[in-house]
Amino acid sequence: MTSITKTTSNVVSAAIVTAAMALPSLQFAYADSAPERGIVSFKYLNYQDSQGSLSQYSSSSSSSTSTSTSSSGNVHSERENDNNAIWIDTISGATAVATSTATTPTVVTPKTLSTSTSSTAHDRISVNAYSVMALVPIAGVWSFGTTYISDSVSGASPTYHTSGLTTMHDARQAVDAQLTRYFSSGNVSAGTSYSKESDYLSRSYSLQGSLSTEDKNTTFTLGGSLTDDTINPSTMPNLNAKKTTHAGLIGITRVLSKNDIVQLNLGYSEGEGYYSDPYKYYDNRPGHRNNTTALARWNHHFEGTDGTVHLSYRYYSDTFGIRAHTLDTEYVQPLQNGWAVTPLLRLYTQNEADFYIATGAAEKADPTVITAPPQSATYYSEDQRLSAMGALTVGLKVSKQLNHDWLVDAKVEFYEQRSQWALSGKADTALAPFSARSIQLGISREF
Amino acid sequence: MKSNFILKSLRALLYLIVLGLTGCSIGPAVQPWEKETLARPEMTFGGDKLDTGYTEHIYSSKEAASGGSGVGGGGCGCN
């Protein structure tokens, strides 16, 4: 098991103490009154990510034409067989692990594997998604909002670290709805959401309220939610694993000046159930995961340029041992004739989970040799998303208000994730860099 | 060390915002007739809901951290 230096950043120690007092719940804090006009929006997303192989792997490659480690088998019904199949043989049903409710498939060492040998990036997952949103004011004091999203995901995904790719495809459909009642000094909102994939069903219910001071310069928000998930991996279709999450949020939003508004949200969430990834080798995670978040946001308007900057920082901490920092900035610059441009920059860093198993020496020399967790390890994972890393996003959004009613927008973002960019923790430098780009196209009409 | 510098900067930003929240306004209380700018869409924390939905979903499927801005919303099998 990886030894870990925990980030004991003081950043949010104060905030965490405060968060301990937080009740379950909440969303954003604003909107003192019902919207005057209804709105219908549509947005399309095209997403593609890719991951290179490290050059150090090239020497051990058996074929320079192979673009990826092709593998699959009966791993997942969504993962297709091919000639280089490796077998992740899973036992039907689940095995209770330790004192938790976590379950894990029994993993059998792959028999054959072809390796990735090029140092160039290869396409991994691609996503095409469509979403529609409607918000309708009702009788001046109510509003009803709903969102529908449909996405299609396909490509290749690693079964350990950044190797052992299996092909997969899946479709997800999700819908949510919120009903809000507005009062002179605040609002109350109830919401529900439903999301379905072939192997994952999620239902969520939330309630939140906000209260403003008489001068409307300070707003307090409180909210809570319950999320109930059911997981039936295609390799274990009768598993019926559960995951239940209770979350709460408390927030304060304050007007500082006619050009400045700030917000602080403290969140706490407690989850219990199945957290392992059934499609990865050596993946057995604890059966509970609690997390604390502190999110601070600041919007400032520049009178000189008529532009607005959004600055936000989020601290995240959980019982897996993850500590993450996210800094988000964007600048909205209105131009002539209804045009606006918004460049954005996002910086992210996390340390590794307590039970993350770093790439071993043998695997570094030959990526087909999977690093086994130590015998003594109760929990383990070789999921790159639980490793120490940092990430950078740059993006640009362009929008045009066509007339009183219609708005169109387009956004492009580029994302790069590297273990070397981790600000804390122990970087697993054998992981290949990961990158992604996304494009969004939207149209919106007010009524 | 650069990481220390960055973490210190983040801490300073957080303290600054907390300071603002706890009552140290930049000036006198803002009056209702001074809130024209604050009413602009880009000055709210809501943003483009569909954009935020896509973006948060992508990040939560590629990074260990998620959440912070609200509660509710469905989970997925992507993480």
Mean pLDDT for back-to-back runs of 10 residues, chain A (447 residues): 35 31 33 84 97 51 34 36 32 29 36 42 93 95 96 93 90 95 94 94 95 93 95 90 95 94 95 94 96 96 97 97 97 97 98 96 92 95 96 98 97 97 94 96 97
Q: What is the CATH number of the domain that holds A292?
A: 2.40.160
Determine how many CB atoms are found less than 10 A away from the CB of residue A434: 23
Rg from Cα positions in chain A: 23
Is residue A161 within 8 A of residue A352, CB to CB? The reply is no
CA distance B41 to chain A (A): 10
A425, part of any domain: yes
- Label residue A186 left, alpha or beta by phi (over 0 means left) and psi (-120 to 50 means alpha): left
pLDDT at A326: 97
CA distances from A131 to A59, A315, B36, B38 (A): 45, 29, 31, 28
Chain A residues with beta carbon closer than 8 angstroms to that of B79: 385
pLDDT of residue A301: 97
Rounded CA-CA distance A283/A246 in Å is 24
Residue A87 lies in a domain: no
Q: Is residue A381 part of a domain?
A: yes
> Which residues does chain B have within 8 Å of residue A440's beta carbon, measured at their own beta carbons?
51, 54
Q: Which domain range does residue A242 map to?
A: 13-56+119-446
Determine which of A176, A226, A262, A382 to mutate to test the interface with B (most B C-beta atoms within 10 Å): A262
Mutate to test the interface with B, among A255, A279, A319 (most CBs of B within 10 A): A255
CB-nearest partner of B37 from A200, A301, A326: A301
What's the mean per-residue pLDDT of chain B?
A: 79
Q: Give B-chain residues touching A411 at CB under 8 angstroms.
A: 51
Q: What six digits make up the tokens of A218?
A: 């300070």
A68 is a domain residue:
no
- Evaluate whether residue A77 is within a structural domain: no
Q: Which residues of A touch B68 (CB under 8 A)?
A: 265, 267, 293-295, 314, 316
* Domain membership flag for residue A2: no
* Structure confidence at residue A34 (pLDDT): 85
Q: For residue A72, is it within any domain?
A: no
Chain A hits for B17, Cβ within 8 Å: 262-264, 296-298, 313
SS3 A139: coil
The per-residue pLDDT for A84 is 33
d(CA A439, CA A409) in angstroms, rounded, equals 11
CA of A443: which chain B residue's CA is closest? B50
Residues in chain A: 447
Q: Which residues of chain B have pLDDT under 50?
A: none
Give Cα separations from A438 to A128, A345, A414 (angstroms): 10, 14, 7
Q: Which residues fall within 8 angstroms of residue A438, CB to CB, at 6 or more apart?
A: A45, A46, A47, A48, A411, A412, A413, A415, B54, B58
Residue A284 belongs to some domain of the structure: yes
How much is the pTM? 0.80
Report which DSSP code applies to A141. Answer: T
Closest residue on chain A to B31 (Cα):
A215
Nearest residue in A to B28, CA atom: A257
Check if the beta carbon of residue A310 is closer than 8 Å to that of residue A330. Answer: yes
pLDDT at B2: 54
Q: What is the CA radius of gyration of chain B?
A: 18
Beta pairing partners, A39: A135, A446
Interface test with A, best of B9, B22, B71, B76 (most A CBs within 10 A): B71
- The CA–CA distances, whole Å, from A109 to A296, A357, A359, A380, A423 equal 46, 16, 16, 16, 34
Question: Taking a C-beta distance cutoff of 8 angstroms, is the pair A60, A430 a contact?
Answer: no
Angle ∠(A268,A272,A278) on CA atoms, nearest 5: 120
Rounded Cα distance between A386 and A356, Å, is 6
Q: Is A224 strand, coil or helix?
A: strand
User: Does the beta-carbon distance from A204 to B79 stay under 8 Å?
Assistant: no
Domain count for chain A, please give it.
1
Distances from the Cα of A437 to the Cα of A155, A170, B55, angstroms: 15, 20, 11
CA B71, distance to chain mean position in Å, is 14
- b (16+ CB within 10 A) / e for A79-104: beeeebbbbbbbeeebeebeebbbbb
ipTM score assigned to the predicted complex: 0.80
User: How far is the C-alpha of A368 from the C-alpha of A110, rounded, in Å?
Assistant: 9
Task: Return the bridge partners of A158, or none.
Answer: A165
CA dihedral A28, A34, A38, A43 (to 10 degrees): 0
Asked if residues A137 and A166 have their Cβ atoms less than 8 Å apart, the reply is no
Cβ separation of B43 and A258 shorter than 8 Å?
A: no
The C-alpha of A130 sits at a distance from chain B's nearest C-alpha, in angstroms, of 10
Interatomic CA distance for residues A45 and B35, integer angstroms: 34
